[in-house]
Amino acid sequence: MSTIGVTPNPSDSSAKVPKRPARRVGEKSRRGFAAMSPEQQRRIASEGGRASHESGKGHRFSTEEARAAGRKGGQISRRGPNKPADATT
């Protein structure tokens, strides 16, 4: 007898189907980082940052780079939604 395409009978005690409570409308399950405590999130993120710098792929802004990035961000944020990219006031 072939079992292909046959669904297990829910009343069959040999079928192991985990029972989960029904989810409420609009409620999201917390998975991954969202399910962790803030302390655990910080610890894991910190390990990633440390590993990145140890491997030589991490980046630290110099004073000049940080100044230029801040200036560029400020110029873009003051542009407004209707002004073209090259307009300066």
Yes or no: say if 50 and 56 are a contact pair by the CB < 8 Å rule.
no
Residues 2-25 pLDDT 10s? 556 656 565 555 557 667 666 667
Yes or no: say if 42 and 33 are a contact pair by the CB < 8 Å rule.
no
- Average pLDDT of the chain is 75
Half-sphere exposure of 89 (CA within 13 A, CB side): 10
Rg (CA), the chain: 27
Q: Give the residues of the chain that fall short of pLDDT 70.
A: 1-15, 17-18, 20-24, 79-89
**Structure confidence at residue 2 (pLDDT):** 54
**Structure confidence at residue 82 (pLDDT):** 60
